[in-house]
Structure 1
Amino acid sequence: MDVRNAIKFMILSTMAFACMNVVVKYLDNVNTYQIVFFRSLGSLFFTFGYLLKNKIPLIGNKNKLLILRSVVGATSMLFFFMSVKYLSVGTAVSLRYTAPIFAAIFAVFILKEQIKTLQWLFFVVSFIGVLILKGIDNQMDTTGLLLVIIAAMLSGLVYIMINQIGQSEHPVVVVNYFMVTAMILGGVLSIGNWVTPTGNEWPLLFSLGVFGYFGQIYMTKAFQTASTNIIAPLKYVEVVFTVLLGITLFNEVYTFWSLFGMVLIISGLVLNVWYKGKLKQ
């Protein structure tokens, strides 16, 4: 177990995802469907290349589940990108990270898993953070909140599906299915809604796939290098990077209550990861 390298990989991953988030925010004039299309198309260059180079079959074993996971994941991505147009980018990312709460709830009903009382308490802490963001922070847009919560719910459902897929599929095969589906979804929805990007928007659109791919790869490497309870809390550093980039690039203003709400959301989720790690020891 190489903790130092694992931390480095996770930091690189969160930086890549934060860059992707702010590019989405910057492309405010580009249709969200196009953003999903180009985000997926850019990553497909890497996933297809990897699978072909390593002679890994493109078609998986659990095809129905892979397709369902991809449709739900692509829809989640679409709703999240839509929410960024209504919310400050740091707030949107913080709220998207409530996905583990929904995953835990789905796991109770679908996988018949049990959740400890202390875990529910940590989830309540995160939920209070959401209420503070909406109830006290007057900057919160209701449409944006609804979109990002739907995205988080769908993302939580994706976690359950990935759990069901298990080790039967190569990780890049799973990501490849996801990117193909998202590209088709974004492409079809872009018909009739196309907005021609300007000269400097084209490279930014293609950069989405690059940032997304390397964010995914470094995150995978981090989890492969060290234990989950050490690495998983570092995922939330993405929120810090995104907030800083939002302030620097877009002059976004975060009130005390919005920052306090974010801290509660992330604290509850980090405590849950820590507690789950203790239970496995």
Structure 2
Amino acid sequence: MAGGLPAAPGSAKRRRLRVCRQTRRRPAATDLARPRPTRTLNSSTRSSRPRLGILLMIGAIFCLSVMEAAAKYLTATQPYETVVWGRYLFHFLLTVPIFLAPTTIRLVRTGRPAMHILRSLFLAGGTLAGIGAISLMPLAEATALVFSAPLLVTLMSPWALGEPVGWRRRSAIAVGFLGVLIILRPGTDFLQWAALLPLLASLCYACYQVSTRLLSFSEHPLTLFFYTSLVGLAVTTPMAFAVWSPPTAGEWLLLLFTGFFGFAGQFLLIKAFQFAEASTVAPFIYVQLPFAGVFGWWLFGDLPDLWVLLGAAVIIGSGLYIWRRETRRAAAPD
């Protein structure tokens, strides 16, 4: 399931205007001698290629959907803790070569290690809950419930990020959670304890997204990338060996498969935000639902029923409305 998004686009636009004004003047010799600032997720030096950014976002979501389908397949024969550990193990092994170059090794150093660890713990918790959910539920249903994460991010924004949330977006949050109830159907046999796992994953992902926003103003994307895999591996290793069942050669190959597609998805996600504004690419995260539906039907014979489709439509509609209000907030605050 997809990871966090950068901060809202309004401040980035203002920074670009300031940069444009500054670049009109002739640089002094002392300016040329100054070290260049570290590129962050919110860096105003982002290349403006929105179509490429959209394609990269869709590619990222496709890779993450493939990873989840492979993980669900593996959980039929392996504990889900082992599956998550394998995902992080091969993700980390693929990440290490990036940081062996002299130009990138310095990015391992950070002045905010505690925040990196906390952010990575949120993602590890979300991944554990998410993989646990899809091991017990159809892919499309679990994915639809996890889509409540953007609603929780907006709900947390006033106290966590200092971002005001008006009555329109608060109303959209309420409608979005109505969609969650439509999928869960309280009072029916459908509601089981397993349905709480994607909601726990959603809460973890929301906290992960908020912490990503807080770090994105000062940290390089590759720094976030490194600590995500390192902390995730450290957390899941003892959990995996507590329930260890030696994987077969085919299962090792599938674990490598999940790690590779998890790595590729996160890497493409970072690149998408380097080529286009968050406001441009963020809505395309919802293509994960049709991907999950297709993989669930093709590999496992699962077809979402009418209630799941209706609830997913309500959640996605609320999320898109909130995204639209956030992109217009500077011009027309709610």
TM-score, reference length from structure 2:
0.79
Query: What secondary structure sits across from 2:105 in the alignment?
Result: coil
Residue 282 of structure 2 is aligned with which of 206, 209, 232? 232
Whole-Å separation in 1 of the counterparts to 2:312 and 2:185: 13
Write out per-residue CA displacement over residues 231-262 of structure 1, whole angstroms, 9 at most, x where no aligned residue.
Answer: 11001101111111101110002111111111
Paired AA for residue 33 in structure 1? E
Given that residues 51 and 173 in structure 1 are in contact (C-alpha distance below 8 angstroms), is that contact kept between their aligned partners in structure 2?
A: no
* Matched letter for residue 253 of structure 1: L
2:64 and 2:199 mapped to 1: Cα distance?
19
Q: Summarize the alignment of residues 53-92 of structure 1 with structure 2, pairs less than 5 Å apart.
A: 53=101, 54-57=103-106, 58-92=108-142
Q: Point out the more displaced range, 143-152 or 245-254.
A: 143-152
Determine the structure 2 residue equivalent to 1:14: 61
In the aligned structure 2, how far is the partner of 1:51 from the partner of 1:141? Answer: 45
CA RMSD of aligned residues (A): 1.8
Q: Which has the larger Rg? A: 2
Distance 1:13 1:265 in 2: 21
Superposed counterparts of 1:104-253, under 5 Å: 104-135=154-185, 140-253=190-303
Task: Give, as a single letter, the amino acid of the residue that structure 2 aligns with 1:11.
Answer: I
CA distance in 1, matches of 2:163, 2:291: 34
| Aligned-pair identity (%) | 25
Alignment match of 2:81 (pick from 33, 42, 60): 33
**1:60, 1:88 → 2: CA distance?**
40
Alpha-carbon shift at residue 27 of structure 1 (Å):
0.9
Structure 2: stretches of 5+ with no match in the other structure: 1-47
Q: Structure 1 pair 98/278, CA: closer, same or farther in 2 (3 Å)? A: same
Alpha-carbon offset, residue 45 of structure 1: 2.3
Aligned partner letter, 2:176: S
Given that 1:90 and 1:243 are in contact with CA atoms closer than 8 Å, whether structure 2 keeps it comes out as yes
Q: Which of residues 30, 46, 50 is equivalent to 2:98?
A: 50
Cα displacement (A) at 1:223: 1.9
Question: Are the equivalent residues in 2 in contact too, given 1:61–1:168 (CA < 8 A)?
Answer: no
Q: What is the one-letter code of the residue matched to 2:230?
A: V
In structure 2, how many angstroms separate the alpha carbons of the residues matched to 1:205 and 1:95? Answer: 25
| Cα distance in 1, alignment partners of residues 252 and 188 from structure 2 | 34
**Quick one: structure 1 residues 255 and 139, their matched pair in 2 at CA, closer, same or farther if it must change by over 3 Å?**
farther
- Say whether the 8 Å CA contact 2:297–2:303 is kept in structure 1: yes
Please tell me the residue identity of whatever aligns with 1:222. Answer: A
Q: Displacement, 1:197?
A: 2.1
Cα distance per residue 1:86-112 (max 9 Å; x no partner):
211111112112112222222222333
In the TM superposition, what is the alpha-carbon distance from 1:139 to its structure 2 partner? 7.3
More helix by share: 1
> For residue 294 of structure 2, what is the amino acid of its counterpart?
L
Unaligned runs of 5+ in 1: none
* 1:65 to 1:120, Cα distance in 2 relative to 1, 3 A: same
* Post-superposition offset of 1:73: 1.8
Aligned CA distance change for structure 1 residues 277 and 37 (closer, same or farther; 3 Å): same
1:3 is the counterpart of 2:74: no
